[in-house]
Structure 1
Amino acid sequence: MKRLRDDIFYIFKGLKEIHRIRPWLLTHLVIRGIFEAITPFINIYMSALIIDGINDGETFQLLMEYAGITISLNLIVALLIRLMNRFIQILKEELNHKYEMVLSQKIIDMDYTSIENPETHRLREKIKDIRNMSNGGIWLLVTSFQELIKCLFVIIFSVALTFSLFTLSGGNELSGIYSFVASPIFSLILGVCILANVIISMYANATVTKKMHRIMNEVIPFNRIFGYYINSYLSSYHAGKDIRIYNQKGLIESESMALFGGANVTLSKLSNNQMKYSGITTTSTVIITTLIYLFVGLKALAGLFGIGSIIRYVGSINEFTGAFTSFMNQLAMMRANNESMKVFFDFLDIPSQMYQGTLPVEKRALCHDGDNDYEIEFRKVSFKYPSSENYTLRDVSLKLKIGERLAVVGMNGSGKTTLIKLLCRLYDPTEGEILLNGINIKKYNYDEYMSIFSVVFQDFKLFSFSLGQNVAAKVDYDKAKVEAFLAEAGFGERYNEMPDGTETCLYKDFDENGVEISGGEAQKIALARALYKEAPFIILDEPTAALDPIAEYEIYSKFNEIVGNKTAIYISHRLSSCRFCDDIAVFHEGKLIQRGSHEELVSKAGGKYHELWYAQAQYYAVTSN
């Protein structure tokens, strides 16, 4: 019973979500379902009238009127169905677009903690796999709902047209088998048989659909890897070099065929499962249909109704049988599809646990005069990622005032990037607190707090949009500002080669005339994007990692000019960049172990910074024989 309640809950929740995403779609499906359901009964009912008219000797004019009504009704209903199909196709396209936007918006809105959680990506990938494999989830619910509505009205119309079949009786005039068939007892027996057929069909369809979804889930891993090779790896022109240099053709073919073979074994189980249970359903349906035809035939032979009624009853029974079988199938599919719907809602229901403050940043009493005066303080901050038992940062305390240049250095895994994630409030500290002008950053309005930072992370992304839109991160942008900041970021010469200036599309994903850019060029564009935001804090995580030494020197030689009066934090493995900073913080194994200027730290023999500096400097030392 609980399972049934859960099934009903997810079906209705899914329908409600469809209506929320695209209102009126379900209403149009219901209307079309009624028109599609009534179509066969126009011919059944009118054919019975015409045959009865012929049998009763009605006039030719009346028979032609019946034929005209039949043709007219069929034409009107067919036109209405085509009109509804047009509306429904548009609504489905809008549902498709808005559905993807709902999933994307959820990713945008959720806590960054959830973004980095593998479970979040597992759910998102499973939603995609479900759709690719069986068009499941919301899409199967839409398909099943429209078929279910049609079948429901076919059943209603067929029952309405055959109801009199079960109530007709010949009284005392009939005898023998005819008397028994016309009696309420036989109708009751037939009703019990129909109910038994319903139960058998429900059980068989529920079982086969449940097993089908379980088997299809086994295919998902095959499909995911196969899809990666075909849709992602081979279709990407970036992979062409590796495929040729490392002769990966044999590897890809071997893996693909192995996956294809494994999927075939699984799909064979699916086919055997469907044959087994469809045989049970077919046998049950044939038996009950035979009994109904026998019921109709014997009553007709008993003279209880005419030839036209035979056509009406037989036609309606055929429609009922097909609709009922399909109705059970769709109901079973909707119930089995609830596992996919649960995945969808589990994804949408991922909670936002990060506290959203209310204090406006710009209305705080600042440390000094001017809107850009801020002081950041880490006070005994420790942090470990949600999925880890080990601390990435331990007991970190530091202050950073407006206009300072801070370099954060250390070996890989020392906690440098984690420090920035905490500063930008992508995560909250496990212990301790971070203060902005003496106030815990949790108390500030989240969006306003984020607005004071411009960050270029190591794994920054550029989009296949125009250059100007990439820099401004907006559809509409200030062209003069874009050009100025591109020049400051060292992209000036390359910009002069852009065929359409700021309107030049990057990459070729959407525009065959798009411009391919190198990693170093992309890094300069990302730096220009950070400058365009004009936030008081600018944070660069390995800002010159993809630049050649000359380009790196050009960036750092006008370092102060680029940053202006902003506070700058740099994370870098190239310690030569630290010489341009006022202050250097050295991290090791999650702890802040040294802090000072380049000259102070490099002079401390035995210190970590001294060790790192000379470990790199040896590769640049000039030797002579």
Structure 2
Amino acid sequence: MHKSKIKYNINTLKIGLKEIFSLQPWLIPCALIDAVFKSMAPFINIYMSAKIIDELIGAKNLDKLKFLVVVTISLNLAVHLISAALDHLVTMLRNITMQNQKMKLNEKIVNMNYEQVENPEIHLLRTKIAESENMNGGGISALIEYLADLEKGFFTVVVSIYLVINLFKSEAILDSYLSIINSNIISYGFLILVIVCIGLSLKMQTKSNTLFFNSFSKVMDINRVFGYYFGQILDYNVGKEIRLCNQKEILIKENKDFTQGTQKLFNDLGYKDAKYRGFDGLITSLVSGTIYVFVGLKAIVGAISIGSVVQYTGSISQFMEGSKRFLTSVNAIINNNKYLQLYIDFLNIEDYKYKGTIPVEKRDDDEYEIEFRNVSFKYPGTDIYALKNISIKLDIGERLAIVGMNGSGKTTFIKLLARLYEPNEGEILLNGIDIRKYDYEEYLGLFSIVFQDFKLFSFSLGQNVTASVSFDEENVKEVLSKVGLDKRLSTMINGVQTSLYKEFDEEGVEISGGEAQKIALARALHRNAPIIILDEPTSALDPIAEFEIYTKFNDVVGTKTAFYISHRLSSCRFCDEIAVFDRGRIVQKGKHDELLKNEGGKYYELWQAQAKYYNSEVSA
């Protein structure tokens, strides 16, 4: 192996060990102690059986036999109990380690820049980490296993050498042609044979392990697809569509085609693995037979006792197993480094967003002026501008509607305002200062935003509204009443402590899409930020229902600044001003009546196209 490759593997292993220690400092020491006790068990029986057999054939001292039996039972019991306790402890510590690792990965994602969260490459990296660990194919979880196997192998080799070393020092008592077994040539030849067989066996196991690791990426892809179909069928949220739209046929067909397509891969893997393991078994059987012949001849010529036959054959077999385990673990750790590197790379993703240092001025009058000045933006990986030369000054305290067709840049505009992304060109100002200079967390505190793809969690209703573990129940009830959810709340047995959905609580309630939207609106109100933005959170409703919710919400917003984003023009007629977006640009800006008078404008075009959905409103 090249020196740079060796250095890389050593450094990667060091990082992995430090990471395990940081996640749970007691895991590695306890796992190593556990490995020692598990390795001791076979040697107790090997050594004590030899002593008991020699006593039975020799002096037959009953007291000594009783003593040896008691010692054997006591040692086995002690090692078993200690090993069981350590095994339980290691399992518990390992579970804690993996939970801490998941929390660390989740914290990394939560603290990551939003543009990184939306990056497909980072999504794929996170998926590979999860899949490698779920299938025990690599990463932190596998490293813990390989380290334990490495020590088991090392300890087994050391003890077996200690117990077998006298075999090669013993000399024949009987004078016969079989005494040649004491020849150094025979002894060295036997050692060479054992070492060669271990090498061949290791080579077969290495090929088998390499085959698995090299095929692992394909297996991960298969597992991902299978998990999709399996999860889709079992997910109760999609059960209605599967049955009502008769989707079970396409799911079963796709699953069947997928299964047939992957059968060849698994058959090939199974065939090659069986070939390698079969050859390994043949080598092991041949060398085991040779061991018994060599040790048996030693016993025949009187070089060793009958009991020692058990000790030496057992110890040599353990030596072979220990050597293979040790060397296989080294090989597995080296192969595992490329999966461990995925985890390291993920944690090392840099946070390149400038967080700013200027504190945001706390104003009782909520007088904040926001201005977009020649702002242009295109998403990473594309040359198409989502926004182009946007310039607009937002008057604080007014109701601004942002309208336009899907894909016109409305949501992108809000993402830039909330610093989820940074402009490629131009700048966004708050009270005349570039928003990038403000303290990031303080700046975000200015906004309550409900996106169209808002998310509610399987927590209690109160926790969903407040985004907090503990909350003031009366305050939650008040904001729920403001958004019109008080009647639904009165039907919930546990009130605001009622869990949403049933993932974690069998008594959880299923809520409708409209109710979910109202809860999201209540969350925006509870945040009590000076600027509220609704990015089409009611797009699933019909235009009239959306207009009613927006109008009611507008009443409870009070003096706060509110931005209403919609591709439905009727929902935002009550706003003080309307900005019309088209293909990433602001093409019109004004009040509803003014914009409607311009029959050549985009607003008039959109209004006429949508008029059939709200004719009663048009006539008004």
TM-score (norm 2): 0.92
Gaps in structure 2 of 5+ consecutive residues: none
Give the superposition deviation at 1:304.
Answer: 2.7
1:366 matched to which residue of 2? none
Note if contact 1:542-1:571 (Cα within 8 Å) is conserved in structure 2. yes
Matched, 1:197 2:194: no
For 1:239, give the aligned amino acid.
V
Conserved 8 A contact 2:570-2:614: no
Q: Distance in 1 between matches of 2:581 and 2:224?
A: 40
Rounded Cα–Cα distance in structure 2 between residues aligned with 1:515 and 1:69: 62
Structure 1 partner of 2:458: 464
CA contact (8 A) 1:215 1:269 kept: no
Could you give the per-residue CA deviations for residues 89-123 of structure 1, whole angstroms, max 9, x where no partner exists? 32233233223222222221211111111112222
Aligned-pair CA distance for 1:291:
4.1
Partner of 1:588: 582
Q: Mapping of 1:121-520 within 5 angstroms?
A: 121-134=123-136, 136-168=138-170, 178-179=179-180, 181-231=181-231, 233-362=232-361, 370=364, 372-520=366-514
Given candidates 547, 558, 573, the residue that maps to 2:567 is 573
Aligned residue pairs, count: 616
Amino acid in structure 2 at the alignment position of 1:406: L
CA distance in 2, matches of 1:541, 1:399: 19
What is the rounded CA distance, in whole Å, between the counterparts of 1:575 and 1:30 in structure 2? 68
Contact 1:219/1:263 (<8 A) preserved: no
| CA gap 1:346/1:108 in 2 versus in 1, 3 angstroms | same
> 1:309, CA displacement in angstroms?
2.3
User: For residue 76 of structure 2, what is the amino acid of its counterpart?
Assistant: N
Question: Aligned partner of 2:30: which letter?
Answer: H
Partner of 2:457: helix, strand, or coil?
Answer: coil
Q: 1:95 aligns with which of 94, 97, 101?
A: 97
Q: Give the stretch that moved more between structures: 325-334 or 25-34.
A: 325-334
CA distance in structure 2 between the partners assigned to 1:44 and 1:372 by the alignment: 82
Aligned counterparts of 1:244 and 1:106: Cα–Cα separation in 2: 39
Give, in angstroms, the shift of residue 72 of structure 1.
1.2
Q: Is the 8 A contact 2:137 2:213 kept in 1?
A: no
Q: Distance in 1 between matches of 2:607 and 2:459?
A: 40
Query: Would the aligned equivalents of 2:375 and 2:387 in 1 still touch at CA under 8 Å?
Result: yes
Q: For residues 546 and 157 of structure 2, what CA distance do their matches in structure 1 show? A: 75
Deviations 1:552-578 (A, max 9, x none): 344333444322222211211121232
Match of 2:615, SS?
A: coil
| AA of the residue aligned to 2:475 | K
Q: Using a 3 Å threshold, how does the CA distance of structure 1 residues 318 and 392 change in structure 2: closer, same or farther?
A: same
Counterpart residue type for residue 199 of structure 2: I
1:16 is the counterpart of 2:55: no
Aligned twin of 2:603: 609
Query: How high is the sequence identity, in percent, across the aligned residues?
Result: 47
User: After the TM superposition, which segments of 4 or more aligned residues of structure 1 sit over 6 Å from their partners?
Assistant: 173-177
Shift of 1:234: 1.3
Query: What is the CA deviation profile of residues 515-555 of structure 1, one whole-angstrom value per residue up to 9, with x for unaligned ones?
Result: 21111111111010011011111111013323455543443
The structural deviation recorded for 1:287 is: 4.1
Which AA in structure 1 matches 2:202?
A: M
Q: Aligned partners of 1:559, 1:428: CA distance in 2, in Å?
A: 30
Matched residues in 1 for 2:234 and 2:147: separation? 36
**Alignment partners' CA distance in 1, 2:608 and 2:400:** 21
- The amino acid across from 2:230 in the alignment is I
| Counterpart for residue 76 of structure 2 | 74
Gaps of 5+ in 1: 364-368
TM-score, normalisation: structure 1: 0.92
Provide the secondary structure at the position in 1 that maps to 2:442: helix
Does the CA-based 8 Å contact 2:452-2:537 persist in structure 1? yes
What amino acid is the match of 1:610?
Y
Per-residue deviation, 1:155: 1.6
Deviations 1:275-320 (A, max 9, x none): 2222333344344444444443333334333223222111111222
Does residue 1:42 correspond to 2:44, yes or no? yes
Question: Which is further off, 19-28 or 53-62?
Answer: 53-62
Q: Distance in 2 between matches of 1:3 and 1:189?
A: 35
Query: Which structure 2 residues correspond to residues 505-584 of structure 1 after superposition, within 5 A?
Result: 505-549=499-543, 551-584=545-578
Q: Using a 3 Å threshold, how does the CA distance of structure 1 residues 433 and 161 change in structure 2: closer, same or farther?
A: same
Q: One-letter code of the match for 1:585?
A: A
* Cα drift, residue 618 of structure 1: 4.2
Shift of 1:175: 8.3
Amino acid at match of 1:311: V
Structure 1 Cα separation of the partners of residues 198 and 14 of structure 2: 23
The verdict on how the C-alpha distance between 1:275 and 1:617 changes in structure 2, with shifts beyond 3 A counting, is same
Q: Which moved more, 1:467-476 or 1:68-77?
A: 68-77
Q: 2:449 is paired with a residue of what secondary structure?
A: strand
SS of residue paired to 1:69: helix
**Distance in structure 1 (CA, Å) of the matches to 2:17 and 2:202:** 22
Q: Secondary structure at the match of 2:303?
A: coil
Superimposed CA distance per residue, residues 161-205 of structure 1 (whole angstroms, 9 cap, x where no aligned partner): 11222344579x9786635x4344444444444443343333322
RMSD: 2.6
Task: Give the superposition deviation at 1:498.
Answer: 2.3
CA distance, structure 2, for counterparts of residue 135 and residue 615 of structure 1: 56
* 1:394 aligned counterpart, secondary structure: strand
Query: CA offset at residue 404 of structure 1?
Result: 2.3
